[in-house]
């Protein structure tokens, strides 16, 4: 173990559990380093645990060797999961159990619509994370079509309005009925949907705090609703600003963001800290010093106390 393994030695036992959940669709880049660092600092500032989960559920997007590369990069940056990383591909049975629970409760239904049919049936559709707001065509039956996906039934009226407090972004509200519609938990291609996997995984790991990029703010109401349907606790949420390129687009592995040079970890960490508006940490000359200052700065900003 290197001396930068644990930046809060002797910390008291804490209920706090955070996580970083990269999709292995490419190497760690400046954007994913920001999410990793923010979740790590929040966990350490609370004297809590920090876990890594490899979100390799989306088979077609997974790049061979990317997960190992991300874990190796994190280690070079001085961030190591407090437990062995979890891989979503090993957890299909748990996702199946959750879906069965929802089937039993009558909260989901099979859907036979293709993307084109959904688009055609909407006069004013818009894209939300590549998902079209679903008009509910198969709510009352498949109309003779074969089942393709499973959807969670979203209630009408006030029950569909999800409100939550984001620790960075403030008060949030989303009307799932008008803005999202009944959403997919098992995809037509047989893959488990991100929304189901993330909710089951966070609950099973005992995650108390989700810290991630603001691009996922839009998924949070769906996740909270799903937690309620499955009688799971809702963690606290904190969504950090995402890193954008010169065109204002979010840096992502899909836009071929360049991997960060982890040969110079301190420089990359300082840039990530600056993005999170942590100014003091930029003066550090060692990794150890960097984490000491960054954890303190973060803890003071968000009023973190060991819980
Ligand atoms: N796997 C997602 C990503 O890499 C993050 C999911 C999450 O933090 O909930 O964008």
Q: What is the pLDDT of residues 254-281, one digit of tens each?
A: 555 677 776 789 999 999 999 999 999 9
Q: Are 61 and 263 a contacting pair, CB within 8 Å?
A: no
Q: What is the pLDDT of residues 13-36, one digit of tens each?
A: 579 999 999 999 999 998 999 999
Is residue 117 helix, strand or coil?
helix
pLDDT at 70 over 50: yes
Atom of ligand 1 nearest to the CA of 32: 4
Distance, first Cα to last Cα, the chain:
26
Q: What is the pLDDT of residues 81-121, one digit of tens each?
A: 999 999 999 999 999 999 999 999 999 999 998 877 766 66
- Four-residue CA torsion sign, 137, 140, 145, 146: positive
How confident is the prediction for the chain on average, in pLDDT? Answer: 89
Reported pTM:
0.90
Any atom of ligand 1 within 6 Å of the Cβ of 58: no
| 178-208 b/e (C-beta count within 10 Å ≥ 16 → b) | ebbbbbbbbbbeebbbbbbbbbbbbbebebb
Are the folds of 17-90+243-302 and 91-207+217-235 the same? yes
Q: Which residues pair with 17 in a beta bridge?
A: 49
- Residue 80 CA to residue 73 CA, distance in Å, equals 10
Among 19, 212, 222, residue to substitute to test ligand 1 (most atoms within 8 Å of Cβ): 212
Q: Are 13 and 49 a contacting pair, CB within 8 Å?
A: no
Predicted confidence at residue 144, as pLDDT, reads 87
3 or 222: whose pLDDT is higher? Answer: 222
pLDDT band at residue 137 under the 50/70/90 scheme: confident
Any atom of ligand 1 within 6 Å of the Cβ of 22: yes
Predicted confidence at residue 128, as pLDDT, reads 42
| 2-24 b/e (C-beta count within 10 Å ≥ 16 → b) | eebebbbeeeeebebbbbbbbbb
Q: Which of 5-9, 78-82, 113-117, 283-287 has the lowest mean pLDDT?
A: 5-9
Predicted confidence at residue 271, as pLDDT, reads 94
Look at the block and give the residue holding tokens 């999202």: 180
**pLDDT-above-70 percentage for the chain:** 87
| 249-269 b/e (C-beta count within 10 Å ≥ 16 → b) | eebbbeeebebbebeebeebb
Atom of ligand 1 nearest to the CA of 35: 8
Q: Are 151 and 185 a contacting pair, CB within 8 Å?
A: yes
CB atoms within 10 A of CB 87: 14
Any atom of ligand 1 within 6 Å of the Cβ of 73: no
pLDDT at 4 over 90: no
* Pairing mode of beta strands 161-166, 86-87: unpaired
**pLDDT-above-90 percentage for the chain:** 73
For domain 91-207+217-235, the CATH architecture is 3-Layer(aba) Sandwich (3.40)
Q: Which residues pair with 134 in a beta bridge?
A: 181
CATH no., domain 17-90+243-302 = 3.40.50.620
Parse the chain into domains and list their residue ranges: 17-90+243-302, 91-207+217-235
Q: What is the pLDDT of residues 145-179, one digit of tens each?
A: 888 899 999 998 999 999 999 999 999 999 999 99
pLDDT at 219 over 80: yes
Q: Are 42 and 236 a contacting pair, CB within 8 Å?
A: no
Predicted confidence at residue 126, as pLDDT, reads 46
């Amino acid at each position: 173990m290197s001396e930068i393994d644990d930046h809060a030695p002797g910390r008291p036992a804490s209920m706090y559990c955070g996580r970083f959940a990269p999709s292995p669709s490419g190497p760690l880049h400046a954007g994913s380093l920001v999410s990793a660092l923010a979740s790590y600092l929040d966990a350490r500032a609370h004297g809590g645990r920090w876990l890594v989960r490899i979100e390799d559920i989306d088979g077609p997007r997974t790049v061979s060797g990317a997960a190992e590369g991300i874990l190796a990069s994190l280690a070079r940056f001085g961030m190591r999961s407090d437990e062995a990383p979890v891989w979503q591909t090993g957890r299909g049975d748990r996702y199946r159990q959750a879906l069965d629970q929802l089937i039993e409760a009558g909260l989901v239904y099979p859907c036979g619509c293709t993307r084109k049919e959904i688009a055609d049936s909407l006069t004013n559709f818009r894209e939300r994370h590549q998902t079209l707001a679903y008009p509910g065509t198969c709510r009352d039956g498949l109309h003779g079509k074969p089942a393709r996906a499973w959807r969670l039934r979203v209630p009408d009226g006030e029950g569909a309005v999800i409100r939550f407090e984001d620790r960075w972004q403030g008060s949030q509200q989303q009307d799932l009925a008008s803005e999202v519609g009944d959403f997919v938990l098992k995809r037509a291609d047989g893959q488990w949907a991100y929304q189901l996997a993330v909710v089951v995984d966070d609950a099973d790991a005992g995650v108390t705090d989700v810290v991630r990029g603001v691009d996922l703010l839009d998924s949070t109401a769906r996740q909270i609703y799903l937690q309620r349907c499955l009688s799971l606790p809702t963690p606290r949420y904190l969504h950090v600003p995402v890193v954008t390129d010169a065109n204002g687009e979010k840096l992502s592995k899909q836009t071929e963001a360049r991997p960060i040079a982890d040969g110079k970890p301190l420089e990359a960490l300082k840039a990530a800290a600056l993005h999170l508006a942590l100014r003091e940490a930029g003066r550090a000359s060692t990794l150890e010093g960097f984490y000491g200052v960054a954890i303190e700065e973060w803890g003071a900003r968000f009023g973190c106390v060991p819980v």
